[in-house]
Structure 1
């Protein structure tokens, strides 16, 4: 594909921030639209901000080829299960439907390891529901990424994740074979895996578990995509 234009929802979060930076340095993409609530403190020649109120109908250009959804919060930060579902279920579905209406062919979303609409765990249930609803929209390419515990530099302090990160450092080497997908993973690796799948041009639905994200997000992945996907 000669002309590629990306749009990112959630580009100021942990994975989203890494994703935007990777898009900006990757020559495969000519322009990046970023949905934001308020202007950023920096600019880039390839970046165009789209000021967005998620409580209103979404408006953005129609020249987009690839959409990336990295919206997400925690129940603690959201303040309630209802607000959590708004950010992690309602907004992504609204974004995906708007992309479909605009003719976007490829859609990529980060959910979570264990995503299952029938899960007894509320968090995993919501992640499974958003996967199910977006899968019904019929994108030519749909990439669903299910990372384990995310590593990276967050803007806000999260005690539980700090503790989890310390434990992961000790436990990761012990997780072998089918347990490798439970190893923690860096946000930059998740971002690179999304771009590598988008870059591949492969059609169809691809569910990428955390252990495969680790491989797909490596620097050598583009030379070995057929063996990875």
Structure 2
């Protein structure tokens, strides 16, 4: 690919499970000339085309001028338990994401990819899924040529932090996964690396809003 056609990727949430895989794949992807990761604290990175910018989530305005590139991959996500309250969870998984999106729009970023969740619904009785649905709806109102929303089921992969109930769930899901077909197929667990690959591929989709359910994520290369 000619130098002038190479892309610059922006990654938020690069220290998380999926974000880590996204960053690694982007570093190896010849379609990208630079990968910029935005982190709360400095992290070690391999020598290459990746550089990092540290920022304060409470002050996105301070880095708005730096959120410039072609494709933005938002892998920000926490849990209510880790956040400490529903209020802080909403501020992270909704407000922070949309503030980043607005900054990216102002700098003419072409594509915005978001990791959401299976079952995301703005009218859900479940607070977590309702928040995910609300951030999806808020994102759809932003003027990006390409918006990709990925709704993975339970993510497989090794996290830096241990979540006991999640690990039990993964074990159970692996056991029953072969039995999940048809309408249940999208509830099969999916590896975070597969989600990362689908996220990058979707950035090269045609203009519009693209929503990928978990089974579509798994089959995106087919």
Deviation at residue 62 of structure 1 after TM alignment = 5.8
Deviation at residue 192 of structure 1 after TM alignment = 0.2
Aligned to 2:103: 98
Q: Aligned partners of 1:42, 1:62: CA distance in 2, in Å? A: 19
Q: Aligned partners of 2:130, 2:179: CA distance in 1, in Å? A: 28
TM-score by length of 1: 0.91
Q: Answer whether contact 1:8 1:70 (CA < 8 A) is retained.
A: yes
Q: Aligned partners of 1:138, 1:91: CA distance in 2, in Å? A: 17
Change (3 A) 1:19 1:62: closer
Q: Answer whether contact 2:67 2:103 (CA < 8 A) is retained.
A: no
Q: Answer whether contact 1:62 1:103 (CA < 8 A) is retained.
A: no
Q: Aligned partners of 1:162, 1:98: CA distance in 2, in Å? A: 36
Match of 1:36 among 18, 36, 39: 39
The CA deviation string for residues 47-73 of structure 1, in whole angstroms up to 9 with x for no partner, is 111111011124143640000100001
1:196 aligns with 2:195: no
Aligned to 2:49: 46
TM-score by length of 2: 0.94
Deviation at residue 174 of structure 1 after TM alignment = 0.8
The CA deviation string for residues 197-223 of structure 1, in whole angstroms up to 9 with x for no partner, is 11x34111000000000011xxxx2xx
CA RMSD in angstroms, aligned pairs only: 1.3
Q: Answer whether contact 2:68 2:104 (CA < 8 A) is retained.
A: no
Q: Aligned partners of 1:132, 1:58: CA distance in 2, in Å? A: 26
Q: Answer whether contact 2:148 2:211 (CA < 8 A) is retained.
A: yes
Change (3 A) 1:62 1:72: closer
Q: Answer whether contact 1:69 1:109 (CA < 8 A) is retained.
A: yes
Deviation at residue 3 of structure 1 after TM alignment = 2.4
